Amino acid sequence: MFNGACVMIVEDYALLSNGFRVFYRCWLPEGDFKTLIIGSHGFTANSGIYSNVGLEFASYGYGFCMHDQRGHGRTASDLDKGYVNSFNEFLEDLEYFTLFARERYGGEKIVLLGHSMGGLIVLLYVGKIGRVGNLVIGCSPAVKIPIKKTHKFLLAILSAITPRKKIKFASSSGTLKEVDSELKNIIRDSDLALKEASARLLYELLKAQEEFWEYVNKIRIPVLLVHGKKDDLIPVEASVRTYELLGAEVKELKTYENMGHNLFHEPGWKEVVKDIAKWIENTVKT
């Protein structure tokens, strides 16, 4: 369907080449587009929560597609909500969904963009596998998660013994913690944000953010890192360190003085999208 701004919105399920079925959304500008952005959402979230982001990128002439990750949103069955067997499954799904979306909707250039856990997914994928993607963007990437060693040890035990044991969160969704009031009528499926997650998913996330540092210098395609200086979940220093260790020749770190972790849902989010769109435009030309 088309919205008032002539953006085609697609909501559908896709059977990926690895045999896994995901729910996804795309926001496609009217007419042809040359660059397709593949979005990767954050922990507990889903594609509907990034509806404003998809619409905004489409207004700049970019296609934007995002699937609900395993264990999240409409992709997850009741049994699998908040569960993933291995973090590598996120990386595999990212690759196969990218191939699906490019074949179905087009795009000469592919940009991998992830927020929070999604930022870790796209960056780790590029460093570790890297078969798809011309540019990569990490927004508040969860590459350095502050956690006590005792808590990590406990999660390791639970993951091994009772991997599907659910752990409840203090709040339903960090993504919507400080949502801009104008977005409340745009975002979708906020009620599907996870309120609990399995011990296995939580432990796999912690293992993946440690593994990332083994591959950061293997990231060679152009990289943009975006981080709010008031981020109280993932310290901005994590992106600073990532920037320093990247193997890419073309790289940029952009920080926002008065923004926190939820760059796409706080006041000022349109400026973030504008800056990213400009970086993509300039980088694709080089």
Residue 154 lies in a domain: yes
- Extract the tokens encoding 71: 């264990």
Model pTM?
A: 0.94
CATH number at residue 190: 3.40.50.1820
Residue 167 lies in a domain: yes
CB of 252 within 8 A of CB of 224?
A: yes
Question: Of 33, 25, 36, 104, nearest to 66 (Cα)?
Answer: 25
Q: In whole angstroms, how large is the CA radius of gyration of the chain?
A: 17
CB of 234 within 8 A of CB of 141?
A: yes
Residue 2 lies in a domain: no
Tell me, what's the pLDDT at 244?
98
Residue with tokens 């700049």: 60
Range of the domain at 261: 7-285
Distance separating alpha carbons of residues 11 and 42, to the nearest angstrom: 19
Kindly tell me the burial class for residue 148, based on how many C-beta atoms sit within 10 Å of its own C-beta (0-12, 13-18, 19 or more). Answer: exposed
pLDDT band at 249 (very low <50, low <70, confident <90, very high): very high
Instruction: Return the H-helix or E-strand segment holding 7.
Output: strand 7-15
Tell me, what's the pLDDT at 108?
94
Which of helix, strand or coil describes residue 12? strand
Residue 132 lies in a domain: yes
> CB-based contacts of 152: which residues, under 8 Å, 6+ apart?
203, 206
Kindly tell me the burial class for residue 188, based on how many C-beta atoms sit within 10 Å of its own C-beta (0-12, 13-18, 19 or more). Answer: middle
Residue 1 lies in a domain: no
pLDDT of residue 175 exceeding 50: no
Phi and psi at residue 252, to the nearest 5°? -150, 140
Residues found in the chain: 286
Kindly tell me the burial class for residue 85, based on how many C-beta atoms sit within 10 Å of its own C-beta (0-12, 13-18, 19 or more). Answer: middle
The total domain count for the chain is: 1
Residue 15 lies in a domain: yes
Residue type, 228: G
Per-residue pLDDT tens over the stretch 127-174: 999 999 999 999 999 999 999 899 999 999 999 999 999 999 875 444
Per-residue pLDDT tens over the stretch 64-78: 999 999 999 999 998
DSSP at 191? G
